[in-house]
Amino acid sequence: MWPNVAWRLFWRELKRGELWVIAFALCLAVFTVVSLSGITESVRSALAQRSANFIAADKILRSSLPFNEAIFEKAATLQVKSAKQMQFSTMVFAGDEMQLVSVKAVSASYPLRGKLTLRQHEAVDAPIVPTFSQGEVFLEPRLLQLLQIKAGDMIEVGVSQLKVAGVIAEEPDAPLSVFGNAPRLLMHVDDVAATEVVQPGSRIGYRYQFAGSDALLTQLETEVKSLLTLHDRWQKLDRESAVGSALDRAEKFLLLAGLLGIVLAACAAAVAASQYSQRHAMSVAVIKALGVTTATARKIYASHLSLVTLLSVSIGLALGQFASSSAQWAIVNWLGDYQAEFSSRPLWLGLLTAVICAGLFSARPIWRLAAVPALNVLRQRQQEWQFDIWHLATGAVAVWLLMWLFSGDLWLSAWLFLLCVAFAALLLGMAAVIVKVAKPMSAGQSSALRLALANLRRRLWPNSFQLITFSLALFLTLLLYFLRAELIGQWQQQVPVGAANQFLVNITEAEKPQISALLTKNQLTAGNYYPMISGRVLSVNNETLTEPDAENSDKAESENRDTANRDTAERKKGEQQADQTGTAANAETAERRRGIGRELNLTWLSQMPANNEVVKGQWFVDGGKAEVSVEVELAERLDLAIGDTIGFSVGGQQFSAKVSSFRKVDWNSLQPNFFMILSPDLMATFPATYLTAFYLPPAQQPLLNQLARQFPTVSVLSVDNILKQINDIIAQVSLALTVILALVFAAAVLVLVAQVQATLEQRQQELAILRTLGAKTVFLRRAVLAEFAALGLMAGVFATVLAEILLAVLQVRLFELPFSLHWNLWWIGPGLGMLLITGLGYLLLRKLLIVDAPTLLRRALQ
């Protein structure tokens, strides 16, 4: 009965490799989805954990009110790790010296994420201090110079005497900005009360830091909701900093790669299923002629499909899970402190993919297969496979659903999907045109080429689906390849190799040549010397701005909070400022809003810094005349217009300048940046100090000690750690992108293989006929190669055009990168298409080409 026959046929076909292509395609679809979403998820969580290092915690609750112990108790019951942190500015004293410092007071569990390195003294190779205890403080190295003390001395913080136990060498949540911060002092949170620095009205930032799994943190967030006041808010992960945006783009890339992987896998399944149907059309006609009803034929082939699906889905799931586990293992190995979490989402996504691919892409062709009329056994020609619009339509909708499910992004999936559909339609149209045009063209060519063109033309229309899949596979590969290069390039540009990692501040005019000489002697180059002077903004358009007072501070805090919740640009500033200088910055923001700058670093330049951009007005013409260029966001806060007059006070002297331009400043660039740049004529008479930056290779670290000894008044600010962290992340993300690109490329190649194999049967017949007609092997090989080369070239060109268009759109819309043309694409695309498709075609057809004519004929006539 039919189950026996079905079972026997199944095993025989499996053994003969008949079912392999379809099994492989399904397996590939499942594998792609499982591995890509698994890897994406691992990379995403690794990156999230990595960026957690930048805030020394997974989640932070910020408050302007003293710690509520109930919140920490809740965390403890949930087994969420927690740490306390207070931030404030205060004066510290050491002998006759005093200095404004930015204090970070932390509990013993700090940092929950990332690494804090404390050293016994400022030498770069000084012994590491493993723990710090109450009564001790650690200082930023430049503070030792400013206070004229050394490690081991005592300093006064408020009314307490605390011992300087060493210096801060590496701080996970160090501010990313180098300027405008008071130097950092680290102390124990339990010492704060004794200092009596905290008084009613003092501006203190309280931070509750937490670390734990996402689920626990979410639970914590809901459970403490009732304990929170207006003064508490959860800090969002910083998405706007250099690192944040790099991660953001990487995530988008991974998502996109996953989506494209789904499209490719679905294509492979569709190709394989229709190929299978075509190959089996005659077998179905035969068994139906032998008396099998359509329903039974359907059962036989449906059982095959179910068995194949079952088999390939299991293998696909296993392999996919293996790939993503390996990736996770690699990530763990590499990041060390990364905790991998198992997620079932990739698995059920994979299952769903299989169901959709098998159901929509395979079930329908097989349903139609069973409907092949028995009468076909009497027809000499095989029935032409008809274009099945329903199959295409339902399949397309299914792919889109899958994309949506995978990405959770309606807009992106719909958009990408429509693009692929438009692309397919375009190609079909082009194929139609080429069929028409290629006819007269083929006359007068060499005979191998003519045969190739004739073959191509004959197959182009019925098999333009093949061209579409070729092009689609190439297009997706090219797209990812170039996006990846683009992203990596952008990141590297942000932090170029050899970017300045040391800043020297407070250089006198006389020290300038000496410092240059010292650097030159050590084969280092100093950058520009920027003049710098402290000043205040006194008035805008002659309207004097008042000093703030303590009573306003709460209002300032809440205003800052509002600001932080507004649009991204605003949040960026709010977050960044708050992150960098803690409460002092909050206050500063508020002060600035009412127009009073605290001490502001002013500079004067005739040339605009390279990474700045004038957004309104005009940069100084001929060096400018009593003019000022204002950073655009500051200008908005001050409610300035071009042409306004700002009154400044520098060293007791007052003068005014006309606002002539607004500048956009890249705060992520780790370059010297200024809010206000004055025209040189205004400042020429003031005594200024200078700022410069240079790159110091790790091997030459001891030079810093020499600099500190030789120029005691010059402060050295090192951004080496920040740069290293950023570079680390970029390297990791780049590797992840490369792995995923390789995966998508493999998927694309498999689609190509499935597609070429789909035409093997037909080619076999043709070759048999040509052989019988006396065509030589060399001739046949040339004709086949020429045909594949032409096909590959065509697919490559289509893919290139489309990739260029989509790259432009993605660059601008999704990744917010500047638009650029990709000249390389124009030869890589067609070249890759030609090489890949010719190579694959030849590899797959090689066997057919060397088989002798009688054998070919026999096979062809089966």
Partner 1 sequence: MSFTPEIYIQAKALTKQVQLTDSTLTILQHIDLTINRGDSVAIVGASGSGKSTLLGILAGLDTATSGEVYLAGQPLHALDDDARAELRARQVGFVFQSFLLLPSLSALENVTLPAELAGIKNATQRGRELLALVGLTERADFYPSQMSGGEQQRVAIARAFITKPAILFADEPSANLDETTGAKIEDLLFELNAQQGTTLVLVTHNPALAKRCAKQATMQAGHLTMAVAEVTSVA
User: What does the binding site for partner 1 look like in residue numbers (CB under 8 A)?
Assistant: 1-2, 4-5, 8-9, 12-13, 16, 18, 282-283, 285-296, 373-375, 377-380, 858-859, 861-862
Q: Which is nearer to partner 1, 373 or 617 (CB)?
A: 373
Q: Tokens representing 844?
A: 């797959």
Closest distance of CB 445 from partner 1, Å? 34
Closest distance of CB 359 from partner 1, Å? 25
Q: Tokens representing 722?
A: 């920040």
The residue among 322, 82, 297, 70 whose CA lies nearest residue 189 is 82
Q: Which is nearer to partner 1, 287 or 488 (CB)?
A: 287
* Helix, strand, coil share (%) of the chain residues, nearest 5: 60, 15, 25
Q: Which is nearer to partner 1, 4 or 344 (CB)?
A: 4
Closest distance of CB 17 from partner 1, Å? 10
What 8-state DSSP symbol labels residue 233? E
Q: Within a 10 A sphere around the Cβ of 823, how many other Cβ atoms?
A: 8
CA–CA gap between residue 253 and residue 814 (Å, rounded): 9
Q: Which is nearer to partner 1, 11 or 387 (CB)?
A: 11
H helical segments located in 190-293:
192-195, 214-223, 242-289
Number of H helices, E strands in the chain: 25, 22
* Dihedral sign (CA 471, 473, 475, 481): negative
Q: Which is nearer to partner 1, 368 or 859 (CB)?
A: 859
Closest distance of CB 299 from partner 1, Å? 12
Closest distance of CB 409 from partner 1, Å? 44
Closest distance of CB 387 from partner 1, Å? 17
Closest distance of CB 357 from partner 1, Å? 24
Closest distance of CB 20 from partner 1, Å? 12
Q: Which is nearer to partner 1, 374 or 836 (CB)?
A: 374
How wide is the angle at C-alpha 39 spanned by C-alphas 34 and 40, nearest 5°? 100
CA–CA gap between residue 675 and residue 678 (Å, rounded): 10
Q: Collect all residues with Cβ–Cβ distance below 8 Å to 234 and sequence separation of at least 6.
A: 59, 60, 61, 62, 221
**Chain centroid to CA 256: how far?**
11
CA–CA gap between residue 503 and residue 675 (Å, rounded): 18
CA–CA gap between residue 515 and residue 526 (Å, rounded): 8
The residue among 739, 772, 744 whose CA lies nearest residue 331 is 739
Q: How many CA atoms lie within 13 A of 184 on its CB side?
A: 27
Q: Which is nearer to partner 1, 382 or 506 (CB)?
A: 382
How many Å is the Cα radius of gyration of the chain? 35
CA–CA gap between residue 100 and residue 223 (Å, rounded): 39
Closest distance of CB 780 from partner 1, Å? 20
DSSP calls for 842-854 = HHHHHHHHHS-HH
Closest distance of CB 858 from partner 1, Å? 7
User: Which whole-number Å values give the CA distances from 120 to 127, 139, 161, 280, in the listed order?
Assistant: 6, 10, 19, 79
Closest distance of CB 27 from partner 1, Å? 20
Q: Which is nearer to partner 1, 219 or 382 (CB)?
A: 382
The three state secondary structure string of 245-262 is HHHHHHHHHHHHHHHHHH
- Which amino acid is it at 179? F
Contact 145, 93 (CB under 8 A): no
Q: Which is nearer to partner 1, 355 or 857 (CB)?
A: 857
CA–CA gap between residue 460 and residue 432 (Å, rounded): 8
Closest distance of CB 288 from partner 1, Å? 7
Closest distance of CB 293 from partner 1, Å? 4
Closest distance of CB 427 from partner 1, Å? 28
What 8-state DSSP symbol labels residue 672? -
CA–CA gap between residue 174 and residue 176 (Å, rounded): 6
Q: Which is nearer to partner 1, 43 or 287 (CB)?
A: 287
Q: Which is nearer to partner 1, 810 or 849 (CB)?
A: 849
Q: Which is nearer to partner 1, 13 or 486 (CB)?
A: 13
Q: Which is nearer to partner 1, 162 or 308 (CB)?
A: 308
The kind and range of the H/E element at 474 are helix 464-494
Closest distance of CB 381 from partner 1, Å? 11
- Which amino acid is it at 221? E
CA–CA gap between residue 754 and residue 321 (Å, rounded): 24
How wide is the angle at C-alpha 497 spanned by C-alphas 491 and 501, nearest 5°? 100
Q: Which is nearer to partner 1, 199 or 862 (CB)?
A: 862
Q: Which is nearer to partner 1, 377 or 775 (CB)?
A: 377
The kind and range of the H/E element at 83 are strand 81-94
Closest distance of CB 113 from partner 1, Å? 59
Exposed/middle/buried for residue 126 (C-beta within 10 Å: 0-12, 13-18, 19+): middle
Q: Tokens representing 658?
A: 């006309």
Q: Within a 10 A sphere around the Cβ of 577, how many other Cβ atoms?
A: 23
Q: Integer distance in angstroms from the first to the last C-alpha of the chain?
A: 26
